Amino acid sequence: MERALAAVLRITALSGAAVGVPARQDRNTRADKMFEVWLSAVEHHTPGRLDEAAASIATWSRRDLTAALDRVKRDRLETDPNPANRILIRAAFLHADIAVLHRTARGYTLPSDDASTLVAKDGRQLGRGGRTVHWDMGRKALDAVLPDPAREDRVRLWYQTTAAILQYWDEFAELEPHLARARQLFPRDAALLVVAGTMHEYYAESVFQNFMADLPGGGGQARRSLGVGSTSDELTQAESLFRRALETDPDRSEARIRLAHVLGREARHAEAAAELRQVLSTPLSPLLKHYGLLFLGREEQALGRPISAREAFEGAAALYPDAQSPRLALSELAHDAGDRVRARELLPAPGAATKEDSDPWRRFHRMHEQSVDELMAAFRRIPS
Amino acid sequence: MTRNNLLVPCVTCLTSVVVSAQTFTSRVESVRVDVLVSDERGPVLGLQASDFEIDDAGVPQQVDLIAFEQVPLSVVLALDTSDSVAGEALERLRDAGRMAVEALKAGDQAGLVTFATTVSVRAPLTADAARLRLALAQPVETGNTALVDATYTALALAASDTARPLAVVFSDGADTASFLVPDAVLATARRSDTVVYAVRTNQRSPVRFLDDITALTGGRVLTIDSSGKLGTALLAIFDEFRHRYVISYRPRGVSRDGWHPLRVRVKNRRVTIRARPGYQAGS
């Protein structure tokens, strides 16, 4: 670490030597000092901690942060990019950490970079919000890695982890450009393809589509800036992304379950059921098995096979006994079979508190193969 | 969904008519049809069985029974408590619920469902007004809007052999959370005798699911400009529902399975009839 720091400081010194008139000299003196602060933050930050290093640059403007990055790019030793690459990658992790550690349920406790984000809940616009500059700075730092950031495993892991985090937070205004760049760099990365597919799968849901439809002009501008198409367009995109993920990694169970869910939404019930039967024949976590059975029940119901549907829903309910969704589906099947007593028994118990967390369906729009906690831990273990 | 000479059915049976167990999917012994007859002055009262004509799948049927106000109600209120209905709006919702409870008559039963991201049955069907008031006062869940799940719950909970089932769904937005599929719940509604009414507060995009299920069951959608008017809307629905006729017949000359389109007419009168357009029997 010390060697790399020395190398970059040497770059700084070389750059400083090129200054001329006093006014310019003042500016450069300030720029030099800021660069030193930035560089020190990059070097001394402890991953996962809102330490002094992170705090020292957390509120910087885009212009100042960009200037620091530009300095690294401009002054790197062209013959040996490694010291600069190391700084750039550490910088990306620092910027991501600053964003993560300053995020609350109400948003970022950092100065907003702009006010371009629509804040929505329950399909309604609550207002506008700002984005933090640090995600973009992280991307820009990695873009500067030479000779090709796509060759760096740490860059791949940075994108895999941060994309999953942004998706978990439903932060689509940031996830969209994040994934766009990630997929340019790693077009066949199955993990990134599944995150992108999950995003488009969610864009097809009524929570998004109704929100867009209710915006002035049918949400045309918001659709363009966020990249949200019609339900059918989004389902088509999601299907394509899940299929590409499965081409790369056929054992990626979550991708197959999501593919089946999308096919079901496209009314391709027989195809969906076939995918689900295939994935259910493989070892699955209880959560993924629950989803597989839940959607299989739905497809069997749509195919007019109530007995198979009931078996699947019962299997899903057995895995998560407090989950409301499979029990409602079983109630519906009983009602359709004329057994109204059983249908009523399967409704939520009177007076019983229903916990949202007890029903995995309520969080299906987020990826499940790895928890965010696991991803964050892995993220912070990345060697520098 | 208001048209002349439209109809309505409801598979099932009043207790006084026949059947006890509701196995109408395999054997339709009696069909019950809930009908609102109105003209420019409002509901038309005083009609007799002989005034009605019903075609079941194009086959004229003999109307056996006609009931009016003497049949009690089995009403379930499904109230949206999602994030979009918070604070003062939620209190107005509770006030409206209390007004509905006060409007119940002897023999009526009511149940209460609330919904946000999940659905809760706050009170099963009961004639105990105090229990209903207590249920209305309980804290509610917040979050997204499981409108389809809640509508199904209300429809299934209201089902009754001895009373006229009515589900009233209040929501100020579209579904954002349900697991049940709208088409599947609509299919269930075709087999159910519950009439679904809906009340919406906002003027945004129409909620097609509510339009469809109210049309399929013979109810309708009322739009109000604020939740403060929900109580009045609920009373209007109760009043309208109490002025509906329940007519019944034993299907003759028709298949026991499949979709049965219905056509209800009133002889020699220029009236508007609101009723369900058909019912699903058998497999």
Q: What is the 3-state secondary structure (H, E, C) of A40-57?
A: HHHHHCCCCCCCHHHHHH
Confidence band (pLDDT; 50, 70, 90) for B51?
very high
How do strand B245-249 and strand B164-171 relate by DSSP bridges?
unpaired
| ipTM of the complex, rounded to two decimals | 0.85
More confident residue, B92 or A129: B92
B179-193 confidence digits (pLDDT tens):
999 999 999 999 999
For residue A27, what pLDDT is reported?
63
Residue B197 has pLDDT above 80, yes or no: yes
Q: Is B191 on the interface with A (CB under 8 A)?
A: yes
For residue A9, what pLDDT is reported?
37
Is the CB of residue B12 less than 8 Å from the CB of residue B210?
Answer: no
For residue A44, what pLDDT is reported?
92
The candidate with the shortest Cα–Cα distance to A134, out of A66, A184, A37, is A66
A19-37 confidence digits (pLDDT tens):
233 455 566 788 889 999 9
Six token digits for residue A291: 């989803």
Confidence band (pLDDT; 50, 70, 90) for A384?
low
CA distance readout (Å), A146 to A13, A73, A143, A199, A336: 22, 10, 8, 30, 63
The candidate with the shortest Cα–Cα distance to B118, out of A295, A327, A167, is A327
Task: Name the minimum distance, in Å, from the CA of B94 to any CA of chain A.
Answer: 17
Of A124, A328, A353, the CB nearest to B179: A328
What percentage of chain A exceeds 70 in pLDDT? 83
Q: Is B134 on the interface with A (CB under 8 A)?
A: no
A129-171 confidence digits (pLDDT tens):
667 899 999 999 999 998 899 999 899 999 999 998 898 888 8
Is the CB of residue B262 less than 8 Å from the CB of residue B8?
Answer: yes
Q: Is B4 on the interface with A (CB under 8 A)?
A: no
CA B79 to chain centre: 14
- The strand pairing partners of B76, in sequence order, are B111, B167
The candidate with the shortest Cα–Cα distance to A225, out of A115, A122, A102, is A115
CA distance readout (Å), B24 to A293, B250, B257, B274: 29, 12, 10, 23
Is the CB of residue A121 less than 8 Å from the CB of residue A113?
Answer: no
- Inter-chain contact A122–B143, Cβ cutoff 8 Å? yes
Task: Name the minimum distance, in Å, from the CA of B218 to any CA of chain A.
Answer: 19
Report the distance separating Cα B218 and Cα B273, nearest Å: 10
Confidence band (pLDDT; 50, 70, 90) for B88?
confident
The candidate with the shortest Cα–Cα distance to B178, out of B159, B156, B150, B155, is B150
For residue B266, what pLDDT is reported?
94
For residue A108, what pLDDT is reported?
82
- A205: DSSP letter: S
Task: Name the minimum distance, in Å, from the CA of A341 to any CA of chain B.
Answer: 9
Report the distance separating Cα B22 and Cα B17, nearest Å: 13
- A125: DSSP letter: E
Cβ neighbourhood burial of B149 (10 Å; 0-12, 13-18, 19+): buried
- Least confident range from A262-276, A285-299, B216-230: namely B216-230
- Inter-chain contact A347–B156, Cβ cutoff 8 Å? yes
Residue B88 DSSP SS3: helix
Which residues, including other chains, have CB under 8 Å from residue B212's CB and lie 6 or more apart? B182, B186
CA A251 to chain centre: 21
Q: Is A310 on the interface with B (CB under 8 A)?
A: no
